[in-house]
């Protein structure tokens, strides 16, 4: 199926307001506490970069790269660690930062895996949430925006490695229209 870049779903100004709101919420929750912020590569890096620059608490930054096994392009949620944490999260406040949650399978399993490392607290922050695609009971603690079930790119989200650098979120369309 061929896709083409479609219209803007979320503009840069709206994204900036979203990031500021999330940073205020997180800062209020972790005031005067150190926070380990774990970005899930590759999609979260732009969102995480904007977010951590607005956080008031002291932060330690780390990244993980994970993938899911696929069956016909559908995630099974089985997490394969490509790059693990470099810092210990034992007895520390941890914030997982992800670009988007849709089925929730991968994030649910990742959260379960990280809990075995005995963090003091473990919360999830996502820029975009597609609840219509949820296949498991996982809810982010901090949600930037709830979005419709559209194939989107930009602001870290990609299609075949392209479009991550767009400052806004755009819909990918097929030659026959949306999705």
Instruction: Scan for tokens 């607290």, then name that residue.
Output: 121
Domain that holds residue 30: 3-178
Checking if the pLDDT of 30 tops 60, the result is yes
- Is the pLDDT reported for residue 51 higher than 50? yes
Task: Provide the number of structural domains found in the chain.
Answer: 1
Task: Give the tens place of pLDDT for each residue, 83-99.
Answer: 999 999 999 999 999 99
Question: For residue 72, what pLDDT is reported?
Answer: 41
Q: Pick 166 or 77 by higher pLDDT.
A: 166
pLDDT of residue 68: 67
Please write the tens of the pLDDT for every residue from 99-121.
Answer: 999 888 888 889 999 999 999 99
Q: What is the mean pLDDT of the chain?
A: 90
* Mean pLDDT on 55-79: 76
102 catalytic residue (yes or no): yes
Output 31 or 29, whichever has higher pLDDT.
29
% of the chain at pLDDT higher than 90? 72
Task: Of 36, 44, 136, 45, give the one whose Cα is nearest residue 88.
Answer: 36
Q: Extract the tokens encoding 143.
A: 């949600």
Q: And the tokens for 67?
A: 């993938």
What percent of the chain stands above pLDDT 70?
92
Listed residue (146, 67, 51, 159) closest to 107, CA to CA: 67
The pLDDT-based confidence of 70 (bands split at 50, 70, 90) is: low
Reported as a single tens digit per residue, the pLDDT across 126-147 is 999 998 878 888 899 999 999 9
Residue among 31, 102, 129, 175 flagged as catalytic: 102
pLDDT the model gives residue 177: 53
Q: Beta partners for 113?
A: none
Can you give the CATH number for the domain in which 45 is found? 3.40.50.2020
């Amino acid at each position: 199926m061929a896709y083409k870049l479609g219209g803007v779903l979320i503009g840069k100004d709206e994204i900036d307001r979203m990031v500021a709101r999330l940073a205020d919420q997180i800062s209020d929750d972790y005031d005067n506490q150190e926070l380990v912020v774990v970005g899930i590569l590759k999609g979260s890096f732009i969102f995480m970069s904007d977010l951590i620059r607005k956080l008031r608490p002291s932060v330690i930054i780390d990244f993980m790269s994970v993938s899911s096994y696929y069956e016909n392009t559908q995630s099974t949620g089985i997490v394969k660690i490509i790059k693990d944490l470099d810092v210990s999260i034992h007895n520390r406040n941890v914030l997982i930062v992800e670009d988007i949650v849709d089925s929730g399978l991968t994030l649910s399993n990742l959260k379960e895996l990280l809990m075995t490392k005995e963090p003091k607290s473990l919360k999830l922050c996502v820029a975009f949430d597609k609840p219509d695609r949820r296949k498991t009971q996982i809810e982010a603690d901090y949600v930037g925006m709830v979005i419709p079930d559209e194939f989107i790119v930009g602001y870290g989200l990609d299609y075949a490695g392209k479009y991550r650098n767009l400052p806004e979120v755009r819909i990918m369309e097929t030659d026959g229209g949306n999705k």
